Amino acid sequence: MLSTENLQVALDAESGIVKAIDGLSLAIERGETFALVGESGCGKSMTALALMRLLPENGVIVAGQVRLDGPEGALDLVALPEAAMRRIRGGRIGMIFQEPATSLNPVMRVGDQLREAIEAHTPLRGAAVRERAIEWLRRVGIPEPERRIDDYPFRMSGGQKQRVMIAMTLAAEPDFIVADEPTTALDVTIQAQILDLLRELQRERGVGLMLITHDLAVVSGMADRVALMYAGQIVEVAEAAEFFGAPRHPYAALLLAALPETARPGEPLAAIGGTVPAMTVRFDGCRFAPRCPRAFARCSAKPPQLWPLQGAGQAAGEARPRSHSVRCWLHHEEDGRATHGLPEGASPPGRSAPPAPTALLSSPGAPASRSVSVSTDHPPLLQLRSLDVRFPQRSGLLQRTTGHFHAVRDVSFDIPAGRTVALVGESGCGKTTLGKAVVQLLRGSAVVTGQALLDGQDLLTLQGDALRAARRQVQIVFQDPFASLNPRLRVAEILEEGAAALNPQEPVSERRARIAALCERVGLRADALERYPHEFSGGQRQRIAIARALAVQPRLIVCDEPTSALDVSVQAQILNLLAELQRDLGVSYLFITHNIGVVGYLADEVVVMREGRVVERGAREAVLQAPTQAYTQALLAAVPRLVA
């Protein structure tokens, strides 16, 4: 249905020509789910933009073809004039973007944006368009779609905006969908609903799907085939069952080892050392070799090709083997599976291979152990008592307040010093609102009552210098990194801004040295400091947001989905870093997330919210292994599991 051949994309950046995609060839069949996975910055999202001809102004397709099959035959999308390509976008190929906040028009109601898509690509008009829009909002899980269709995007949570984005794409009834992190901002129940909806469309209409995601559990349950990208190239492609059951490339094996589900609480996650290389350099050998624990001399001397494995994927009764290809010298037919070039005692990569040494996998300074039992030895750092948050609802020409929307109702719990409390629940249940209320970001826009006691001092009553001093103690990492970073400032200025404002007595030279070291610890290269936010991928921007929160050395960090935009390797680095800071500095976390795997690894206590109220809370083991509330049981039942 869709294929690329030797696709090459270059970006003209200040640092030089960036070869974002280098010789990409793939083919996706009708009705197939083809997953594209890999670390942030490997070229996954750039591949999606190239297929849609939506590259940034400094980007160009240097070579290659993108072919789309249809009733009129195959079309080369690269050669199409822009007027013809506009008819393809949306109508033939739909795209679900990674960041819904920047993909939705902030000055248009969501219903008008849905109407635009439906009228542009279907014959529906008039009242039928509104009915179709409401139907799709309901199908993607928007509550009260008849009312919410007239809302603006800013009135919706991150997960709800993502659902609107998905509804816009599906309402145009495309033949092929490019989904770039479609479930990143969604809780597990809505994620399961959306994935079921995509499967239903594939069964009914034979829709092809390219799924770009870092959630390997979703991939294992959804994809037919998996392609792993690294530094602009595909390094492994295989049937999903074979990829997860017996990955052949060392990079694939390390990614699977980095999942929080594979580690016990308190043990450091197997994060891959280093970062994806800059794509401005010339590669003489394997691009993964500097980070690979199984690299040998030939890996650095000559770049490997994407070689098919002999007999890979052969199933009983099949006329031909399914394709399983690997870009690795370990599987070259001359080197074969010989281990003469491997370190002594090593074996070719795979799930059954012995784990790589911790020194090669773990980020520097990762903790050896961490206590996870709930103990009364930790005094409360933050105490929430009967916290209520209400937003005024205004109407009429003068926008008079006619009522209030109760977002958070009578919430009470403690966050002990040096501990992690995970806050979970469906999108729109009040998790983010609660986090913003703690950090005092709702003053003037909401009515907040109750108490938020930080070391006995009520944050809700602080003013002036006292409030400024408290802000240094409590920081937040926002869910949407792009919207929370100033697009006019370089990364160095973004990181220094808060540190200079909240700790002005620190010498400039010491502050800059500390920020440079912090940048490296969260997985960003040194040259990132002189770049702007738009020059980074979504995952890289999230690392910048985390570094900004850490720059002022707070005692409590409200983490609002801090790893939702990160691939599993960087997620492991960040979780290791958060655990290390907690061990060394006694930092506390209010960890808002829908990733139950992260909750099981990092949290000491779990608080479950529904419709603004706390419905269950307790020690991690008690809540995750023996939940007492039906709502908590339903949440845990919807969690995707890695299928090997």
For CA atoms 232, 237, 242, 248, the dihedral sign is: negative
The beta-strand segments (E) located in 29-119 are 33-37, 59-70, 73-76, 93-96
**Cα→Cα distances 175→26, 93, 405, 413, 463, Å:** 18, 6, 40, 49, 56
Mean confidence (pLDDT) of the chain: 85
CA angle 124, 129, 131 (to 5 degrees): 130
CB 240 within 8 A of CB 220: yes
CB 542 within 8 A of CB 481: yes
Q: Is the pLDDT of residue 349 over 60?
A: no
Neighbours of 590 (CB within 10 A): 25
pLDDT of residue 377: 62
- pLDDT band at 273, cuts 50/70/90? confident
Contacts of 132 (CB under 8 A, 6+ apart): 118, 122, 124, 171
Q: How far apart are CA 241 and CA 218, in angstroms?
A: 13
Looking at 191, 223, 255, the residue that finishes a domain is: 223
pLDDT by residue (tens digit) across 285-312?
999 999 999 999 999 999 999 989 865 5
pLDDT by residue (tens digit) across 35-82?
999 988 889 999 999 999 999 999 999 999 999 987 777 899 999 999
Looking at 208, 223, 238, the residue that finishes a domain is: 223
493 inside domain: no
Q: Is the pLDDT of residue 317 over 60?
A: no
Q: DSSP string covering 295-337, please? A: --HHHHHSPPP-EEPTTTT--TT-SSPPP-EE--GGG-TTTTT
42 inside domain: yes
Strand order in the sheet with 225-230: 93-96, 176-180, 208-212, 33-37, 225-230, 233-239, 325-326, 307-308
Q: Is the pLDDT of residue 127 over 70?
A: yes
Residue 324 structure tokens? 């399983």
Return phi, psi of residue 7, to 5°: -70, 130
Question: What H or E segment, with its residue span, contains residue 196?
Answer: helix 188-205
100 vs 408: which has the higher pLDDT: 408
pLDDT by residue (tens digit) across 469-488?
888 899 999 877 778 899 99
Q: Is the pLDDT of residue 321 over 60?
A: no
pLDDT by residue (tens digit) across 221-239?
899 999 999 999 999 999 9
CB 413 within 8 A of CB 479: no
Return phi, psi of residue 388, to 5°: -125, 140
Q: Is the pLDDT of residue 422 over 90?
A: yes
Residues spanned by the domain of 72: 2-106+169-223
pLDDT of residue 115: 95
393 inside domain: yes
pLDDT of residue 319: 36
Quote the pTM value: 0.76
**Cα→Cα distances 584→4, 260, 418, 424, 439, Å:** 49, 21, 9, 26, 23
Cα dihedral angle (599, 600, 604, 605), rounded to 10 degrees? 60
- pLDDT band at 243, cuts 50/70/90? very high
Q: Is the pLDDT of residue 322 over 60?
A: no
34 inside domain: yes
pLDDT of residue 315: 42
pLDDT of residue 406: 92
Mean pLDDT, to the nearest integer, of 158-166? 86
- pLDDT band at 577, cuts 50/70/90? confident
The most confident of 112-116, 306-310, 347-351, by mean pLDDT: 112-116
Lowest mean pLDDT among 373-387, 485-499, 581-595: 373-387
Q: Of 188, 191, 202, 219, which Cα lies nearest the Cα of 37?
A: 219
pLDDT of residue 367: 33
Residue 475 structure tokens? 């920081």
Question: What H or E segment, with its residue span, contains residue 211?
Answer: strand 208-212
pLDDT of residue 373: 38
The rounded percent of the chain whose pLDDT value lies above 70 is: 90
pLDDT of residue 631: 93
Q: Is the pLDDT of residue 171 over 50?
A: yes
The beta-strand segments (E) located in 470-528 are 474-477
Lowest mean pLDDT among 1-5, 342-346, 527-531: 342-346
Q: How far apart are CA 31 and CA 34, in angstroms?
A: 10
Q: Which residue has the tokens 């800071």?
A: 581
Residue 59 pairs in a beta bridge with 11
Number of domains in the chain: 2
Q: Is the pLDDT of residue 130 over 80?
A: yes
462 inside domain: yes
Mean pLDDT, to the nearest integer, of 398-409? 86
Q: Is the pLDDT of residue 348 over 70?
A: no
Hey, is 178 helix, strand or coil? strand
Q: Is the pLDDT of residue 372 over 60?
A: no
The most confident of 345-349, 356-360, 376-380, 466-470, by mean pLDDT: 466-470
Are β-strands 176-180 and 93-96 bridged in parallel, bridged antiparallel, or unpaired? parallel
20 inside domain: yes
- pLDDT band at 632, cuts 50/70/90? very high
Q: Is the pLDDT of residue 209 over 60?
A: yes
CB 8 within 8 A of CB 62: yes
Lowest mean pLDDT among 83-87, 154-158, 538-542, 608-612: 538-542
For residue 565, give the CATH number of its domain: 3.40.50.300
In this structure, the chain runs to a length of 644
Q: Which residue has the tokens 């999942």?
A: 259
Residue 617 pairs in a beta bridge with 607
Lowest mean pLDDT among 104-113, 177-186, 400-409, 457-466: 177-186
Q: Is the pLDDT of residue 362 over 60?
A: no
Q: How far apart are CA 434 and CA 312, in angstroms?
A: 51
Residue 4 structure tokens? 């690329």
193 inside domain: yes
pLDDT of residue 352: 35
580 inside domain: yes
pLDDT of residue 401: 79
pLDDT of residue 483: 82
- pLDDT band at 268, cuts 50/70/90? confident
The beta-strand segments (E) located in 498-584 are 556-560
Q: How far apart are CA 373 and CA 228, in angstroms?
A: 37
Q: How far apart are CA 640 and CA 223, in angstroms?
A: 13
Hey, is 616 helix, strand or coil? strand
